[in-house]
Amino acid sequence: MKTGNNLDAFCERVKARKSLVGVIGLGYVGLPLLLRFAEESFRVMGFDSDPAKLGSLKQGRSYIKHLPSSRIQAVKQNLILTTERKRLAEPDALLVCLPTPLTAYREPDLSYLKQAAEAISSCLRPGQLVSLESTTYPGTTREIFLARFQSTGLVVGHDYYLVYSPEREDPGNPEHSVQNIPKLVGGITTSCTRAGVCLYGSAIKTVLPVSSPEIAESSKLLENIYRAVNIALVNELKLLFSRMGINIWEVIAAARTKPFGFQAFYPGPGLGGHCLPIDPFYLTWKARQYDFHTSFIELAGEINSSMPYYVVEKTLYGLNMMGKAMRNARILLVGLAYKKDVDDIRESPAFKIWKILREHGARVDYFDPYVPRVLRTRQFDRPVFSIKFSCRNLRRYDAAIIVTNHTCVDYHFLRRQVPLVIDTRNVFDRRYRNVILA
């Protein structure tokens, strides 16, 4: 099968910045990608079902805290923004950056990907590249996208190109961005991979081809499972060392002085974000189809999922020591985002802690400078708002739980106003009478 002429034409358009790049889903993965290509002088078409997001972008305003509005304003002239999926035929490349959540039974919810694959299939044309970036189980690119595209009569690797290229976003990390994080690309065919490398290489410093979409899909899962398992290890050690009266944070600091064979991971109140609490279960689900039980991964998931209960137990212990019952106690969650210095609340352990506290009869509020309000979600049937961080407000609470260690928060001011502080992030450099390490 001859593919050279088609591939050469695709790459020539990319190199000349004549290609229109489409990004489907403008969230924490899609928006940085859209800006990166626009900054490289590509015209970029952004697709999203949320008109509010598109409205913000058209006005040059960012809705993601760590992405400054100035970046959007600098490339506005290169952006085309739409909710209309009938325009999917226009871009030369379509980068799919949609959510892949779990169901209530911890099974993959691929509804967003299936809808996107159907929509693209209805208007797929010769010369297009389709790249899936969403984290998922090995085989998704073939099973969900290739299977639907075959009905078009177009030949993959000849008429169009299909690749998997996993996102590697780390929101709020100033050292690593889309531009300098190495990008994996695995295509259905060799020409697919070459087309993907050509496109991503025009905007990203290092692009690494792998032999198949399944290799790229599995690599992404390995990256996240590696972190989830090691975090579970230190979380379990935190529980043990707490009983033994040993400070886990000092243990880790001592261990990391070894220049080889050890990488530091840190305990916390549970896992958050769209990756670590979810991605390992995509592999455990797929493994069951091969009559294989991923005991190690599932055990790590159980340990990490149990950490909010440990935080609540520590809070209950602290209140008891004060002669205060949990029922009707006023408790402040400090930090709602899943990690420091970002506004991303996806799968944050704060929500599970909040739920458990309310089940114990506590009255709960939150403070987070990055999350001034939370609209209706599966956690809340009405909007909730961050309190004002003031002496008068803080003194109303019986206890405060530091869930997220934002750099801009004055934790010593917090400690002086609230009688009990539960520190899940080792914020304080030494122990204080009213601080419990959790």
Query: Residue 333 corresponds to which amino acid?
Result: L
Position 379 pLDDT exceeds 90 = no
pLDDT at 382: 83
Q: Which of 177, 193, 148, 200 shows the shortest CA–CA distance to 64? A: 177
Q: Residue 10 phi/psi, 5° resolution?
A: -60, -45
Task: Give the residue numbers marked as catalytic.
Answer: 275
- What's the predicted TM-score (pTM) here? 0.91
Architecture of domain 231-437: 3-Layer(aba) Sandwich (3.40)
Domain boundaries for CATH 3.40.50.720 within the chain: 4-211, 231-437
pLDDT at 375: 84
Position 298 pLDDT exceeds 50 = yes
CATH 3.40.50.720 describes domain 4-211 = yes
Residue-wise pLDDT for 317-356, tens only, equals 999 999 999 999 999 999 999 999 999 999 999 999 999 9
Residue-wise pLDDT for 226-261, tens only, equals 999 999 999 999 999 999 999 999 999 999 999 999
pLDDT at 338: 95
Residue-wise pLDDT for 69-111, tens only, equals 999 999 999 999 999 999 999 999 999 999 999 988 888 999 9
pLDDT band at 171 (very low <50, low <70, confident <90, very high): confident
Q: Give the sheet arrangement for strand 207-210, strand by strand.
A: 79-82, 43-47, 20-24, 93-96, 129-132, 161-164, 183-187, 207-210
Give the mean pLDDT of 368-382: 84
DSSP, collapsed to helix, strand or coil, labels residue 367 as strand
pLDDT at 2: 45
Higher pLDDT, 20 or 107: 20
Position 430 pLDDT exceeds 70 = yes
Distance CA 342, CA 384 (A): 18
Is 39 buried (19+), middle (13-18) or exposed (0-12) by CB count in 10 A? middle
